[in-house]
Amino acid sequence: FNTTSTKGFNTTSTKGFNTTSTKGFNTTSTKGFNTTSTKGSSVKFNWEDAFNINSLLTNEERILRDSVKAFCQSNLQPRVVKDYRNELTGSPDAAKALFREFGSLGILGCTLQGYGCAGVGSVGGGLVAREIERVDSGYRSTYSVQSSLVMGTIHAFGSEEQKSKYLPELGKGNLIGCFGLTEPNAGSDVANMSTRAVYDSSTESYILNGEKTWISNAPIADLAIIWAKCNDQVKGFIIERDTPGYTSDVIKGKLGLRASVTGSIALDNVRVGKQQALPLANSYKAPFTVLNSARYGISWGVLGAAEFCLAAARSYMLDRVQFGRPLAANQIPQLKFANMLSEISLGLISCYQVGRLKDFNQETPEMISILKRNNCSKALAIARTARDMLGGNGISDEYHVMRHVNNLEVVNTYEGTEDVHALILGRAITGIQAFQ
């Protein structure tokens, strides 16, 4: 990918936006837009891109989107039903192969700079998530955890030695990582985590004890980012799989995200040298920073799933004839299509805006809470509506929609539930924190 182009943006300053200057913006060109007249305009509404977001993307972003879409449709879509039916957890070799495929495509950690990463912008990273989740949320979760939570943590909070050692191999998919934050008794209540790290000055090492659960990629991970309390701090550690006392088990029987691998982690007197501690990860700010980046990608991804469900319902209702005409010819289906399209389009343009702000460090956690909360809940509602529109066929995995419903139930919960993000926004609105 071409990561050197900044057409359309003034990259010399991150202090807000200069609204009096047009440097960095071509204000004379109207390519693609008829600005002189609306009479006899050739511009037609495209329901698949209602706000013409394609016109806002750079050439590099379009190339990235199209290449990832082609890969997903040719390599992932044909096998997703099998992976979901068989629960990919039961096939570790297939799960590991997916990372190498993503690595060969160059998309793992693609928004990071250096260390073999592509260095694309936030919108480009969102487009990648959207195309992967158009096929399946489990596949996108696999990508997101590796890219945002594992590589993103090391890139932001690791030492130069840690970055050089781990990031290139994680980016190629030769190493697999997981992110150990959630615990059996500490989900939304992260402050209640019980995992502890004790520093042993005589050996310059840390001893970790605790348990993590619902950890994506854990059963096949070569390394884990583990968060633990150490005295009054929350510290992050890179723990390799073969470290004595570290074990991971598979969580089986999931009814959603079956095309990804999930497990638990046990830490029993795990001793790691101080060189495995992330030197800049010494507070809750560290995990929440990378979680926000992951939530941004999720907000794009779920809309890809929603777009698939809308297209599937549209195709079905155009083909299905009842009472002498296509079901799509009736008012209620058309109302549902209009509602679905409106929510998807508003969600996409919001993701685009926050992405552009993000590249200038102008986004806030509250913006991302709006995106995650809104887009996940709306995508789930769209998938449920599409399932209903397909009638009995809607529960068949060959039509894919019910799989998206089940997946989106999970995505609506993880990395901040709808209600938790509502409380974050409520605090921002009122200045009063309603939770501890």
Catalytic positions: 415
User: For residue 260, how far is the Cα from the chain centroid?
Assistant: 14
Q: Other C-beta atoms within 10 Å of 409: how many?
A: 17
Please name the residue that has the structure tokens 């310059």.
Answer: 204
**Strands 223-230 and 325-326, bridge-based pairing:** unpaired
* Cα distance between residue 50 and residue 68, in whole Å: 21
Least Cα distance to 233 among 202, 199, 267, 269 occurs for: 199
- Map residue 263 onto helix, strand or coil: strand
Least Cα distance to 138 among 183, 93, 180, 79 occurs for: 79
Phi, psi of 163 (to 5 degrees): -60, -45
Q: Which residues contact 246 (CB under 8 A, 6 or more apart)?
A: 224, 239, 240, 265, 266, 267, 268, 270
Joined tokens for residue 178: 């997981």
Least Cα distance to 361 among 96, 13, 45 occurs for: 13
Residue 61: which H helix or E strand, with range? helix 59-71
Assign residue 115 a region: left if phi > 0, alpha if psi is -120 to 50, beta otherwise?
left
**Contact criterion met (CB below 8 Å) for 71 and 105:** yes
